[in-house]
Structure formats: structure tokens, C-alpha cells
Structure 1
Amino acid sequence: MNTTLLAERYRLTDHLARGGMADVYAAHDELLGRRVAVKMLHANFATDEAFVQRFRREAQAAANLTHPNIVSIYDTGKDGGSYYIVMELVEGRTLREVLRSEGPLLPRRAAEIASEVAAALSVAARGGLAHRDVKPGNILLTPTGSVKVTDFGIARAWDDSEELTKTGAVIGTATYFSPEQAQGHPADGRSDLYALGVVLFEMLTGRPPFSGETPVSIAYQHVSENASVPSASNPDVPAELDAIVMRALEKNPLDRYQSAEEMRGDLLRFLSGLPVGATHPDAATRVVAATPPPTVPPDETYRQLTPLPPERRTPWSVIIGSILLLVVVAIAGLYLLDGLSNTDARNALVEMPGLTGATEAQAIEELQDLDLRFLLSRQPSDEFEEGTVASTDPVAGTLVDPTMRVTLVVSSGPETFAVPGVVGRDVTAASEALREADFIVRVESVTDDEIIANQVISQDPPAGTNHPPGTEVLLTVSAGPEQVVLSEYTGFTAIDALAALSNLGVQTVVEREFHPTIPDGEVIRTEPGALEIIPKNTVVTLIVSLGVEPVAVPSLIGNTEAEARNALAALGLNMVLGEPIEVTADSGQEGIVLAQGTPANVLVEPGTTITVQIGEVPPPPTTTTVPSTTTTTTTP
């Protein structure tokens, strides 16, 4: 990638990974002259205050944690519109990559890794933090075998009363959900221990205890189904380790280990060959043997469980060598005896036979028949099969003095070379490296939610194994997250839309806003929009209607009828005249609003009718003249 200088200090050099809300880059700290990792918030979240707040909280929380098993946080900041965190760059592989390429670990090594993860969680717990996303992808293994826990990206203080996530937000990974997380209840340190139990189960068996086609189906199993014991899938798992796993996987948090330190204590007792505190459901019927204390050698740290090798047999090379030794001794004896009896015969010349392509045994037999002494040499050959004669010295047809030794060059098969290691590299660079080493490359693509597109996930044959040129190397390459198409959810209820999006496999957050026509509780739109093709790990924002936005009734007292009608019309409200209020002509209130049915500042929906009463001067009395009689009539 083109290098970018961040904050005039960190030069980004390589894109390492893409997560749910951030990208991770390798970088060089120009000020301190060291390699670091930089996590940058995705651009589409940088304008979302909730995500920015969660991102900053991650840095603040993790920066306070100092422990050999926790990835260190060095710096945090903002460059332009980009928020970033600078952290320790850990060389090595994730536990997820190790399990994918090598399968289940030795029980002892699995317990060692789990104990170090528990140590990291214990430190976080003392700081009031829960990780809430413990999984193999967040556990790093260094070349020296050390364990480091990373990505406290969704951790938060247990005593923090401020809710940082919006309604419907999905936090964590379903495969490693605790039952309480799956049900939407708050997560604490015991939820992390459940997730660690899932990880330990996967290290011992090569698979998680629960799997399914959708996150919803997996979460359902976490809540309602019991996991089998690891030894049911891997008989090499000791009973004590079964008990530790099943204690961590208890559905009720009160039945689990109550702290990471307690679980780590059981793991350390197991590693020391001492009885563990956890009990197995069928412990009364099992005979528990003490675990042998020695650890595996460093070169077997990640060795996959394999069957015992077959019984060793005496190699054919030893048998043939012994025969050849006897033959050589016999020929030497015969030659010496012949030389004593007939000196002239020693100088007789023998024609070198054509032995190219013959088997080693056939060539030796023919040389013995001619009483020729010989030396064996083994060399690689692409032309001749292993164990056949590739050449002789001298060549066929040459007259040979029987007192001299001839050389028999036997093929050891094609020359082999070590396969380069290309896991983690871009597929183009990986393919070029393999072709330069004269290997044939075949590529298979698979979707992956965590590994960026075009990055090599695994290779077969493995790195470092020896194979002849032209051997095919299969590269399994990430195609990036699975792509899905968003449907049109406008008009759906929020509950129905959330269920549909969960079945689609995407994460969701909910936002609310007023809408003039869509009723309260129904979906207005999604971001990204309908029919867009998006990665499966994209966060989709669901915009849900609050209904029509209400308006505040204005104060109309003192306005003329026209002024009052215009003020209400501007807010989408109607006006009707009530009974007029009688006023005197000199009051100055004629035609003025003196009362309104709905008080000022009351919130009403647009279209509401407001009744007002106008001041009115009554008409003067009417006088009627009648002959001989004068009558005064007052009109009511």
C-alpha cells in the first residue's frame, strides 16, 4: 500500500486486518523509531458520536491495563476526520489461524493458553472491565509461545451507567456468546469466562461446542442446549480438563467460576498434576488419573494430535548395505586368492556394462558377476526413479581394469526444496514467491468475516516441508466477508425488521426520528439503503418512525382574528370561532382574541383545530315611534 503519515508521526505501511468497526495497519513510529499497530475507525462511523465515544472508551480502558498477556496501548488521537489508536505490534499468529491450519491442540498446551488468557481477564476485572468479545481471533500467539489478548473494543466499565449503544445494537460474536448476552442481558466478567470455556473447548476438539447457519440459531443453543464434554470428540482430553470446561460453560453465571483468577487457579492445578476444584457431571463414575507434569517441547507447541507411528522396521537400505558389505568382502577375498594364484589374470580388462535405468539390486548383481569392484553414490534426479541407476563412471562400453573401482550413481528421486511460507500474505505476492521456487499454484477462495480479501488463510503443503519442483501448492484465500443484499424494510415494524436483518447475518443499530406519514414504530429506511450489496459484517442502521412530530400551540391572546388564523395555519393548525365575548366600544378589544380553547405551549398534532373567542361590541338599542305611544325596545 502507499505509505500514509498519520498525525505527522505514524507512517502506515501494511494493512493487517479489518474488523467490525475499524481497520488495523502496521506502522512505523517516526518519533520513537519503532514498529507499532494502528487501529483506525471506519470512515462511516467517524461521524457517529456513539461509535466515536465507544472507540475512545476502548483506548482509555485498555491503556490502563498493563500486563504481559495484554496488548499495550501507546497513544490515541484524531487526524482530520480519522480517529485512531496506536498499540503494540505483536508478531505471530492468532489462535484462530493456528486452529484452522493445525487443528486441535495438545490438551496441556490448550490449558496453558487458557490460563494466560484468564490471567489477562483477571487484570481487566481488577480494573473494572469485561472484555465481552473473547474469541480465538482476539488471542495472539507469539513465536516464543507467549499469549496476548487484544481488542478490548467493546469492553466497558461495569459501573458505567451511561448506555453507549443504541437499541438493537449487537455486540460480540455469536459463536462465543454467553447465554446472558444471547438474551440481551448485561455481560460481566463471568460472561468472559463462558467465552473462554468455548475457546478452550475449541482448542481441545478443533470445533466450537455450538454451530449453526445463523447467529440467531447459535445464540439459541447457548441458551437452551448443553454442550457435550470435550473428551466425547477427543478421547485424549483428561477428565480434569473436561470438568474445567463444563464448569466454565454453565448456563447460570452463578454456577460458573466467579472470577478469572478462580478459573486460572484450576488450570494451573491441572498443569501441576494436582486435583482441580471443578467437578464433572459423571465424576463419581470416572477414575481420574493425575496429569503428568512435564510440558511438551517447544517445537511441539502447536502439534496437532496424531495417531502413534507404526512399529519401526529395519530399513531396506540397512539390509542391502549389509549384503553389499558381505559381497564386497567376498569379492575382495576372491580377488586376493586369485591374485596369489595368477598374477597375470589381475591385469585382464573387463567391458563396463550398460546399467543406466536398472534397479540398484540388478546393477550390483551384474557388477558382481563381472568381478568388478564399485562405489555407490546417491544423487537427486528428475529423469530416473528413486532406486534406479542414473549413471556410471566410467560409462558403458569402457574397458575397465578389475583392480580399479567403478562408481554407480543411484537416483534418490527428484531434488526437493522447502515450500515457502505464504500464509498471511497477499495472494499475488504469495503466488509469485511460490512460482519463483518452481512450485505450481492453485487458488481457492472462501468468504471470511475477519481476514481481508485476497489474503492467504492457509497453504497445502505446509511451509517448510520439502517437495520436488512442479508440486502443486493449494492456497486458500480470503474473499472477504460474505456479501448480502438488503431488502426493502420500509413499513415493517421495528421488531420484524430486526429479526429479518438478524437472519441475514448483519449487525444492526436503531435510530428514531419523526415522520409525517409513517406511523410510530414502523421502519422509515435503512442505511445502507434497500437493494445495496454489502459485506455480511456491515453494521446496518435501522431508522424507525416516532410518528408525526407534534407542534406547540402559540399564544393567540391579543391577536386579531386574521393574525391568529395566519399563526395557526403556519403550524398546520386550524381555527374556529367560539362564542364572542361582549366588550364595550371604548375598550379597544373589539375584533381581538380574548380567549383560546387550547392553552399556549400545549403540544398537539398538525391538523388540530383550535377554538378562539373574539371581543364583540353589542349593537345599540333600536327605537320605534308609534302614534300616541312611544315604545323603547332593546335588542338582545
Structure 2
Amino acid sequence: MTDSASRDALIGTQLDRRYTIERRLARGGMSTVYLATDQKLRRQVAIKVLYPHLAEDPAFVERFESEAITAAKFSHPHVVSVYDQGVDADTAYLVMEYVPGATLRDIMSAQGRFSPRAALQVIDAVLGGLSAAHRAGLVHRDVKPENVLISPDGRIKVADFGLARAATKHTSTGALIGTVAYVSPELVMGKPADTRADLYAVGVLLYELLTSKQPYTGDSAWAVALAHVNEEIPPASASVPGLSTELDELIAWCTEKDPEDRPHDAEALLQELRHARSQLSEEQLDLGEEPAPLATLLTSTLALMHRTGERPGSRDDAPALDLLPDAASAGSQPDAAPAPSPAGRGAAGDGEDEDDEAQPEWISPDWAGPGSAAAEAATQALPAAAQDPTQVLPASADPTAVLNPAALGEHPTSGTAPITGHSTPPAAPEPTAVLGPDGATRPLEPAAWPPAAQQEQPSGQPVVPRLDPRLQPEIQPEVAYPERVSKRQAKADAKAAARAAQEPTESLARPGTKKKAWIWAGLLVLVAAIVGTAAWFFGAGPGARVLIPELRGATESSARAMLDQQGVGITVATAFDEKVEKGKVVSTDPPGGTQIMRMNSVTLLISKGPQLYAVPNVVGQSQADAKAALEKNSLALGKVTQAYDESVAKGLVVSQGRKVGTEFRSGTTVDIVLSRGPAPVEVPSLVGKSPEDAEQLLTAQDLKAEQGEDVYSDEVPEGQVAEQGTEAGTQVSTGATVEYRVSKGPELFAVPSVINKSTAEARSILKAAGFEVQVRSGGVFGTVFDRVVGQDPRSGQMLKKGSTVTITVY
């Protein structure tokens, strides 16, 4: 544990007599995150404790508590859960789920770029968490690798939902907070943010996962922010050979400059991501590499960080996830790469952000978009490279640094270096040694001047430099001048004398030399003409090189005018384009920024607008056939519902959501309704009805009647319906068959003879036949011989079961 951590007064204490603070995990601009033990539930938690100066503001604490309550209202497997919040004396805190492991930034720093399979797995989980938050009315506003936590078993969780909103209005510091590498253009322009700002950050995060670099770099954080507004994100496939263009299109959709052109929420983007992933082959998902699970990447990361033997998150002075200009970041170098974040920080990120109505905190309060006074002042403070948004900026700037336009080019009072991406290189040291002929290094002795030979002059004599004889000029003849001749005249005469001394006094040329001289003169004139013509041809003529301007998005007429000024030929071709408006330039061949000869031509590719596809008729087809027909026309199957239909068989399309023949862009969804068959009908009650009435009732309900075998019935008279195969009130499909049975009346049985039987025997015989027995005495003196002398009804008479037979006993 470091000295700073050991001096932390909270370590070893308890909050609200429940949470025991064990050690510090991370520090941010507004809070410190600790690992603690919940003594009541006996589990480890992460506790975010506000700095004292913030906890003293009642309005801020109230807002902090309300945001915590809002974040705790929803739960999702990919979101760090909020357990509790409270204020103990002067300490305001928030209790969150503790997630051991590492942040996504740790893994990216250690492992480099991700395969498309692993990258899509991470983004799928992030979008799952964002979808739940967006449905709950929360906007994250600070999606970045530092706020994505990965546990050792591969679980992915997003931290700091909505908690940054409390900081934006109530932070009293002059520093302006923001993670500029992932900020959306509308936030840079000072406009309100909604769910689509999160999706812009997701697009940048996906680009970084696939390429291991961020799309924009610059000399300063402000230059990076301007790049989000003025530049298009390059395709990731340009940096990663073999990467599917479908991933480029997905990133481009997320990072559209206009929020209206992005997915409307995380759920829509999640569905599109899963669709895109289903279209990729195994080769495209792994790029020829063996797929590595996230848990394996995490284990490798911890090993590279030399922390396999320690508990996750054991470093007390871990840097906060949002780089803030406070004591924690003093002395940091803007150009230095961020150190890997500590693992196991739980919800350790401080993703502070702004309200919907407020501007982002890394933009000056008087910033009102480009063109405002604040913007001009900030731009003037930038280096020349940062003021030109079209200039390629060096990759030395730290795009995750805190952006503070008001402090650009100045040293804060805290003593930290200005966040401009510049640093003064140290002066080159003087050489102190030389390499000898034998390869040994010898000390370099300081050179003495003048040389020793020139230093040894008699006392009082001037020191005359002695030059190396090899550097001495050729000695010229001396010329005597009168005393009154000027120095200028003397020099001129000396030069004339030197020239005269060099001229020959005898001609050594042979006869015919003058003729040859004329020939050589003619050749020289011809060569000069050729050189002059070539100079004109390549300098100002057809061979001159001209720069093709960037014409994408320009109208055809303006593009022609600009190329006419360059003097190049023009050819025109057309093509469909999803993004460029009809009639405007999609691209040029050669592309803009290329130099070509003026005699060459440039092909203008003019947009015909997005290619439209007609909606096919899929009514009467199965769901699979309808989907295939739509995809054949570059459309997609939309929402599928079901409805009863009397005429279309069950499982076939009854209707479709878009009119047949209507044209739409590629990928437009078409909803369909599948038939559930005819609507069910209720079976009527047939018992007690005549067969004719029963059949009429069934026919009226579009049901079929079927008469079964007649049955005995003690309750229903003979000839009426006694039973029905399907119970009355049951819902059955139209055309179903309902069986009914007609009553034969009660079943009759012959009364057996019990005359001359004992009472017990008679009772037994009659009971076995299904009759009740009543005994009556026939003598004056009662029963004497216990013999049946009479029965009523008499034997052989037909009775229904349960009838009473009276016997007379004597």
C-alpha cells in the first residue's frame, strides 16, 4: 500500500455501522472508490465516496441521491448494480456491485486489437446494458473502455449509468470534464444529448476494438473534438485487411454526424449488430485466427500486468477512469500513453457528465458553437495544426485527456503541464566522446582556439590566423597602385589583371574550328528550344501537374467549374449512393488530393440517390418464403404478428405492412401478418334437444354434427339428445365435428321371483338385480315362518334400476 493510501482516513472505518472500508480502488474528479465489506449481508461491495467539498453542498447531495435512486430502479446482467446510498455525518456515498477482474481498457492495452468475434461480443453486452438504461430513461453520456468491466468468468458489465449527470450542474471547479475520444458532435456543438450520443460512443468503441486505435488524434483534446464535427471516421477495414465491410457500415451508421441519421436507440442498434454478425462467416469473425474467449484474454492481461498473484484491484493509487485536472493527475504528461487501469475496480469509473439542457463540462460555459467568441478565442489558442481541421495531426496527442479550451497553451495554477499535446524537447547534449579507429571510445578533449602554433606569438604582436595551405587561394600577380587610387578601383584593376593573365597569347585551334563552333551553337540553340518547350509543357502546358480538389458532396455544376479552372478534361458517370444526395458528387477518379497532369481527365461519379427496391407480394406465402422474397429484393423481414382468417390457411401470410410495388431503400423492413386459421367458435348445448334441433344449432356455428349410438338415460326422455362429445362452451375451430347421442330412455330390468324365499335370500336377490327392497309382514302374529308369500311388482315385470320391490313375509 502506498503512503497516500495508508494516510487515507476512511480505510479501516465503517460507514453507517455497516460498510467496512478495506482499501482504495480508484480516484476520480468527484469521488474516491473503495473496496468494502457489507457487514450485514457479508459480501464485498464497491463504495463511491464524494469529496468533502462536494458533500457539503446540499443541492448536489440531493441530486446525487436522486440519480442513485433512478439508477437503482433497473437491473440488467450487463449493468453494474446500485445497492444503496446514504450520508454518514459529512460523508456522502454510493454502494455498488463489486466486479473483480479488469476494465476493457486494461485488456485493450495488453492484447491489442480484438477479433471481430470478440469485439461484437463486447459491443453486444454493452448495447444490452444501454438498452435497459434507455428504457428506464437514463442516458450514460460517458461510454468508454474504462467504464466497461470484465470479470474473470467473462461477464461484461457497464458502470456509471446516469451518475455523471449530478456533477455537471453542481461542480464548482473551473475545469471542464469530458472523454473527448468518444464525444458526439452534438455535444461538441453545445447541443443537448440523448440516447443517440451513447450510440456514437459505441461506434467509436467498436472502431477502437477492431483497429486498436482511436479514429481521431490531434495536438490537443480540442483538436480531437473538432475532428468529431468536421471529419468522417475512416473505415476500419483500411487498417485491418480482411475486415468485413458490413462492420464498416455498422460503425458509419453509429457515428453519423446528424443524430437523426443514427439508430434511434440501443435496442435498434443491437438488433442490427446481431443481424450483421449472423451474416459473417467464421473466417470473417476470426480473421484466420484461433478464437480466444474474453476470460482467456482477461487472464493473459492480468499476467502481462504482473498481477496474477495478487488480488484484483489491490493497487491503492490506481488512476481514475476519467482523467481530471486534480491532485491525482498532477504532473502527468499529456503525450504519455495512459497506464493500464487497475483490475477489480468494481464500478470504479467516475463517468460524470451533463444534463440534457447543459453543455458538456469540457466546453466553456460561454461556448455557443463554432463562430462564437469563445470558439474563436479557443481556436486562436490552438497550435496552427489544430486550427486547420483538414490538416493531419500527429498521433502524439492524448485523446482521452481532459479538454479545457480556456486553459489551452497555459500552465494551470496547480503546476500541472498545459493540456495541449505539446512538450518542449530537451536540448541535444554536447558530444563527450569519440569513436577511435580501433572501435574504442575516447574522451573528447575541448578544442583549443586559436591553435597552439598561433598562440605562441611575441608579446605585443597581433595574432594572425594561419590557414591550411590547401585552403589558400591561388596567388595572383601583384599590381602597384598610386597612393590616391580608391580601394574599389584597386580591386577592379586586380580582377582585370587576373583575367588578362589567364587569356592565351597564341591560338591553338586547328582550321575549321569556327565551322564546328557554329554547329555546336546550333545544337545548343536546339537543345535550349527543347528544354524551353519541355519546361513550358511541364510547367504551364498540358503536362503541368494540378491538384484535384475534394469534390464529394458538391453539385455537378460546381464540380465542373472547379475542374475547368484546373484545365483538366471531365467525364461523368452515375451510381446509386445511400448517403450522397441525388445530383451531387460521390467521388472522383483520381480521388481528391491527387496530383495529375493537366492533359489527363477526371471522372466525376454523380449520385443517383439511394437505390430503391420494390416491395414484392408475399401474401399467401409461408414466413420463410416471405423472408427469402424480401431479402432477394434487398429488403428485410420486419415484425411478424398473427391473426385469425377464414380464407387463408394457417401459417401463411394474410397481409403485409407495405404496399406491393412501393420502392424503398436497401434494408427497409416489411411487417407481415400470419394466418392463425379460422377464428374459433363456441360449441352450443345439445342435451335435451331433438336430433333435428341439435344439427341446426351446430350448422349455425359452422360446425359439423355427427350422431353416435343411442344411450340409456334416466334423466333425458327417450328420443332426445342425452350426451354430446364436446362439452358445451368449448372453443373449437370452424368446421370441427361435434358428436351427440340420443336417449333410449331409462334402462329396464326384469324383476326376479323371490316367492318362498327367506327374507334374507329375497333381499339379496333383489339387490343384486338393482332394486330396492321393502319388507311387509303378512300374518297377524308377525313373521312366523320367514317365507316370502307375495311380491309387488310381480316377477318378470320390467322396471328401471333403483325401483322398489315390496315383498310380503309370513
For the aligned pair, the TM-score class normalised by the smaller chain equals 0.3 to 0.5
Largest Rg, 1 or 2: 2
Question: TM-score under structure 2 normalisation?
Answer: 0.37
Question: TM-score under structure 1 normalisation?
Answer: 0.47
